Amino acid sequence: MSKFAAEGDTFPDIELETPNGGTVKASDFKGRKLVVFFYPKDNTPGCTMEAKDFTGLKSQFDKAGVALLGVSKDSPKKHLSFIAKHELATPLASDAETDGLSDALGIWTEKQNYGRTYMGMVRTTYLVDASSKIARVWNKVRVKGHAEEVLEAAKAL
């Protein structure tokens, strides 16, 4: 799928692997608002800052009745290390190598950097309403202030 999922679309119900060996999917949160933030790679500066920012606001998201989930293609084992190293309270999940959630959303795509072409994650956040519809999409996210902006939008939903 090359088209980005858009506001009003139903969020795909594709299973992801959690660091503790379990699984998680959007329907697990039906009846609640959900923020799913996709990031390229554990332990890189922007991704670490984003995960820490969401962790810092987790109690406010909880108070607003909003579940959080961070997703990358990193392995569950790598997520465990990332969580421990940075004391993250935000749940993380691993997307499948192929035909995963990021593929279905159109955010696992060809990227270019320094003349090199490769497949990579477009840093994207989805605010999903209680009926599993996408209420808001932030594409090509700039990390600074992003978690706060998402919190305000989630509270307003």
**Would you name the residues annotated as active-site residues?**
47
Rg (CA), the chain: 14
Element (H, E) at 83: helix 76-86
Element (H, E) at 24: strand 23-24
Q: What 3-state DSSP class applies to 6? A: coil
Tokens of 27: 């329907």
Whether the CB-CB separation of 91 and 24 falls below 8 Å is answered with yes
Query: Which residues make Cβ contacts (< 8 Å) with residue 83, sequence separation at least 6?
Result: 19, 92
